[in-house]
Every structure is written in C-alpha cells, then in structure tokens.
Amino acid sequence: MSWRRICAADSVALNSLKKFEVDGIPVVVANYGDGFRVFPPICPHMEEPLEESGLIEGKVLTCTKHLWQWNLATCQMEGTETEKLMHFYDVKQEGDDLLAFIKSEHIYEFDEEDEMDDDDFFNS
C-alpha cells in the first residue's frame, strides 16, 4: 500500500502549508485553493523548511529565503530564480481524508563536490 492517509483535508487552511509525518516520512501539505499538493518539507534549493519559509499567493508557492517559486496548479517552475523542479507526490481526496501516494521518501540531491585526498589537497 503506497496510498497513505496524510490528514483531514480541512486541517490545512486556504493558502497555507502544514507539516505532517506519515510512517516516519515528513511531508508538507499545501492548500492552494483549487486543491492540495503534498511534497517533501524542504526547499530543493538549500533545504530550507518550507512550512516556515513557504508563502502561497495566486497558486504560486514561493520559498521566501531566495525566492524560488513553483506553480502549484501546473507543478512547473515559476519566476527567474528557480533552478530545480519540486518533487510532488500524487494526491487524492477520499471523503474528508487527504491521501498521498508515497512509495518511499523522496530525497533531493544537493550538489556536493568530491573531495581530493588530503595530501593532494594540501600539497596542490
């Protein structure tokens, strides 16, 4: 079973974000008016906690730290700063419950440069 119940749909107010943990997997639920989106709770740019830094206005989610933006209706990137897609889990509503299809936690890859051997590093 990969459809997991996240929360009651009415527990996330219009244009707000709320963090939940489902079977040990952290997610954020966003209510953008036309529906809901469920995604990992950190910004794919620099791991900022989106439930604190995120702002929804006109169906657009903005991470206020460095102004990366995504359109929650289309799931596409918005604005001039954004460089990476947000990962969205599939979502559906059953009665009052909000469910998301989560096989496993999605982990973003953040660039980390490979390291030289210490002696090579300090002697170069």
Interface residues with another protein (CB under 8 A) are 42-43, 45-49, 65-66, 111-113, 115, 118, 121-123
Q: Which is nearer to another protein, 9 or 65 (CB)?
A: 65
How many angstroms from the chain centroid is the CA of residue 115?
Answer: 29
Q: Which is nearer to another protein, 6 or 28 (CB)?
A: 28
Q: How far is the CB of 113 from another protein (least distance, A)?
A: 5
DSSP-derived letter for residue 4 is: E
Token duo for residue 7: 């929360």
Q: How far is the CB of 73 from another protein (least distance, A)?
A: 27
Q: Which is nearer to another protein, 21 or 94 (CB)?
A: 21
Q: How far is the CB of 60 from another protein (least distance, A)?
A: 21
- Between CA 110 and CA 97, with CA 51 as vertex, the angle to 5 degrees is 110
Q: Which is nearer to another protein, 10 or 113 (CB)?
A: 113
Q: How far is the CB of 51 from another protein (least distance, A)?
A: 13
DSSP string, 80-91: TT--SPPP-BEE
